Chain A
Amino acid sequence: MADSVITMNNITKRFKKAEVVKNFSLDVRKGSITGLIGPNGAGKTTIMKILAGLIFQTSGELQFYGSNDLDSHRKRMSFMIEAPIVNYNMTAYENLSYIRYIRGYPDEKRINELLDIVGLGNTGKKKAMKFSLGMRQRLGIAMALLTKPEVLVLDEPVNGLDPEGIVDVRHLLQKLAEEQGVTILISSHLLSELSELCTDFSIINKGELIENLSLEELQDKCKSHISVRTNNIEKTAAILEEKLSIGNYKVMHSGEIEIYEQLDAVERISKTITDNGCVITKLCESGRSLEDYYLEKVGGRHE
């Protein structure tokens, strides 16, 4: 595709006899935030390592911007894979300076700017070995953002962050995607976070791709019922059956009706109920969360 930044076609990675990734395909569009979701050992990190050039795939094709010249395009990308790679004997500023030298980024002022953004502006001469897990994570994120990359590949970037930090990172990534058009591929176990952040999802389990879907497709698939509350529940139930031919509904103890069919006909349902003399006090599309959907797809338990 023309606007593809990362294209993976039938990627397989084998370590000796263990097949860690099997025929995985993914297309990451420019400007999208793609969430890579899967349980521990699903192969997410392996996929990211392949993207970063740390390991080769055993088979399959990988392209960046539609090109096979991966190394030259890696200069436009930043990766944070597994635990942040931090030199523990250096301060936060020195760690960022080191990355600035490696990547040949000219703007030294950006270091202090980034330290303030990730909340490490006041760490001074404190060495990274004395940082908490969350602080190292913030430093890792700053190191990934230093060169203003066009593509960010982040493996569990909010690991160890406090709730405030998680929200900060989410806002930061959203801002990068919206204002600068940065393409982001992110993995996380915090599915609620991903569902608020991502525009696309890729579900992987035991090394195999389960499904690639957009946020719209996910919302569509997660739609499970329409909740209606009116001033007259019995009459509403009769309207549903007689006027709309809806038989698959349930009257809840809370006084609401949950409708399980004709989920695309919200407007028609609303109009029909109102036209027949009932007052709607609540009407909403309800559904499963990303977590529910994911658990269903990977066969996990959900209570």
Chain B
Amino acid sequence: MSNYIKAELYRITRGRSILGNIIICLGALVLAAATFMQDLFHPNYLTVASTFPMMAAIISIAAGAAIGKHYADRTAQYEIMDGANSHKLIWYRLIVYISLLTVAYFIPVCAVMLIYEPTEKTLAAIGLFYIVFLRMLFSVIGITMTIKTPAGAMVPYARMMIENIFAVLGLATNEDKVFDMTGGIISVFKWFPSTECTLVANGMLDSDLIIKALIGFVIEAALMYWLAYTSYKKKWYVRTTIGSHV
């Protein structure tokens, strides 16, 4: 697997000008800073919670775009032609992109929160945010590996927009809620990152919420892993030709 990790790091760092690499690094920092845009003077977990799902979606799009380009360029075929094991192909991507984006985005955000408010609540919130962050990355990597086009990168963004609408309109504690999330199909949205983070932003962070977030993550990660694995194992629509022809 180390071969694939090295090759992926080589692929995403080469072929770009120094200026291009600087812009990408600055972009990650700008996103980290933008996470606090709700209240720049109080960069605590409550501030982060309101913007974090969308920022996590945007940052995961970067991973989706890089993986999608791998398919669009057909360079992903080299891994298949090398006889790569499907599990390895999923894990190397998870390792590369989770590591890179954790360092480039998540750690700076956490550092700011901890410097401003080094409390247990902040640590608990960081735990929940990381679960959400991983969930977004598993989702985008799983979807991109399944549909094998750069378009996979846009799925988390669209999903987060929908989730946000439900989280805002149906938040249980909000007196102005438009619909009730306690029953029916809409109650499913209570298990999604946007709602979880909105609850945190409203000061409802507790162990139950973290456990719920963890369960949600495990279910979604398992589903995405299964999708990506089955897609490779059964060779669902492997893009083998430029264009849409198989």
Task: List which B52-91 residues lie within 8 A (CB) of chain A.
Answer: 73-75, 77-85
Asked if A94 and B15 sit within 8 Å, CB to CB, the answer is yes
> A103 contacts the other chain (Cβ, under 8 Å)?
yes
Q: How many A-B residue pairs have CB under 8 A?
A: 83
Number of interface residues of A (CB under 8 A): 33
Q: Which residues of A contact B234 (CB under 8 A)?
A: 56
> A82 contacts the other chain (Cβ, under 8 Å)?
yes
Kindly identify which residue among B3, B77, B85, B235 contacts A103, using a CB–CB cutoff of 8 Å. Answer: B3
Nearest first, the 3 closest Cβ-Cβ pairs linking A and B are A89-B15, A74-B83, A71-B83
**With contacts A98-B7, A98-B11, A103-B3 known, is A71 near B84, CB below 8 A?**
yes
Smallest beta-carbon distance B197→chain A, Å: 36
Q: Which residues of A contact B246 (CB under 8 A)?
A: 15, 55
> B4 contacts the other chain (Cβ, under 8 Å)?
yes
Smallest beta-carbon distance A58→chain B, Å: 12
The proximity string for A residues 43-78 relative to B, scoring 1 for CB distances below 8 Å and 0 otherwise, is: 000000100111110000000000000111111011
> In the complex, A98 Cα to B75 Cα: how many Å?
10
Q: Which residues of A contact B241 (CB under 8 A)?
A: 82
Asked if A53 and B80 sit within 8 Å, CB to CB, the answer is yes
Which of A72, A74, A78, A87 has most B Cβ within 10 Å? Answer: A87
Smallest beta-carbon distance A63→chain B, Å: 14
**With contacts A55-B238, A102-B3 known, is A89 near B85, CB below 8 A?**
no
The proximity string for B residues 30-63 relative to A, scoring 1 for CB distances below 8 Å and 0 otherwise, is: 0000000000000000000000000000000000
16 contacts between A and B (CB under 8 A): A54-B77, A54-B235, A56-B234, A71-B84, A77-B81, A81-B240, A85-B75, A94-B10, A94-B14, A94-B15, A97-B10, A97-B14, A98-B11, A101-B6, A101-B7, A101-B10
Asked if B82 and A74 sit within 8 Å, CB to CB, the answer is yes
The proximity string for A residues 233-275 relative to B, scoring 1 for CB distances below 8 Å and 0 otherwise, is: 0000000000000000000000000000000000000000000
Which of A49, A73, A78, A83 has most B Cβ within 10 Å? Answer: A49
> In the complex, A187 Cα to B38 Cα: how many Å?
61
Q: Which residues of B contact A30 (CB under 8 A)?
A: none
Interface of B (DSSP majority class): loop
> In the complex, A53 Cα to B81 Cα: how many Å?
6
> In the complex, A89 Cα to B75 Cα: how many Å?
12
> In the complex, A99 Cα to B77 Cα: how many Å?
11
Q: Which residues of B contact A83 (CB under 8 A)?
A: 242
**With contacts A49-B240, A101-B3 known, is A79 near B81, CB below 8 A?**
yes
Residue of B nearest to A53 (CB): B80
> In the complex, A98 Cα to B83 Cα: how many Å?
16
Q: Which residues of B contact A82 (CB under 8 A)?
A: 240-241
Kindly identify which residue among A53, A73, A98 contacts B10, using a CB–CB cutoff of 8 Å. Answer: A98
Besides the known contacts A88-B73, A97-B10, A104-B3, 20 further A-B residue pairs in the complex with CB atoms under 8 A apart: A52-B81, A53-B80, A53-B81, A54-B77, A54-B238, A71-B83, A71-B85, A74-B82, A74-B83, A79-B81, A85-B78, A87-B14, A89-B15, A98-B7, A98-B11, A101-B10, A102-B4, A103-B3, A103-B78, A127-B15
Smallest beta-carbon distance B119→chain A, Å: 44
Smallest beta-carbon distance A86→chain B, Å: 8
Which of B7, B16, B79, B84 has most A Cβ within 10 Å? Answer: B7
Q: Which residues of B contact A89 (CB under 8 A)?
A: 14-16
**With contacts A98-B7, A98-B75, A101-B3 known, is A53 near B240, CB below 8 A?**
no
Q: Which residues of B contact A118 (CB under 8 A)?
A: none
**With contacts A89-B15, A104-B3 known, is A99 near B83, CB below 8 A?**
no
Residue of A nearest to B4 (CB): A102
Asked if B77 and A85 sit within 8 Å, CB to CB, the answer is yes
Q: Which residues of B contact A52 (CB under 8 A)?
A: 77, 80-81
Which of A15, A55, A83, A101 has most B Cβ within 10 Å? Answer: A101
Q: Which residues of A contact B14 (CB under 8 A)?
A: 87, 89-90, 94, 97-98
> In the complex, A49 Cα to B245 Cα: how many Å?
13
Residue of A nearest to B6 (CB): A101
Q: Which residues of A contact B16 (CB under 8 A)?
A: 89
Residue of B nearest to A55 (CB): B235
Asked if A103 and B82 sit within 8 Å, CB to CB, the answer is yes
Asked if B235 and A90 sit within 8 Å, CB to CB, the answer is no
Asked if B83 and A75 sit within 8 Å, CB to CB, the answer is yes
Q: Which residues of B contact A70 (CB under 8 A)?
A: 83
**With contacts A49-B240, A89-B15 known, is A102 near B77, CB below 8 A?**
no
Which of A73, A78, A85 has most B Cβ within 10 Å? Answer: A85
Asked if B81 and A74 sit within 8 Å, CB to CB, the answer is yes
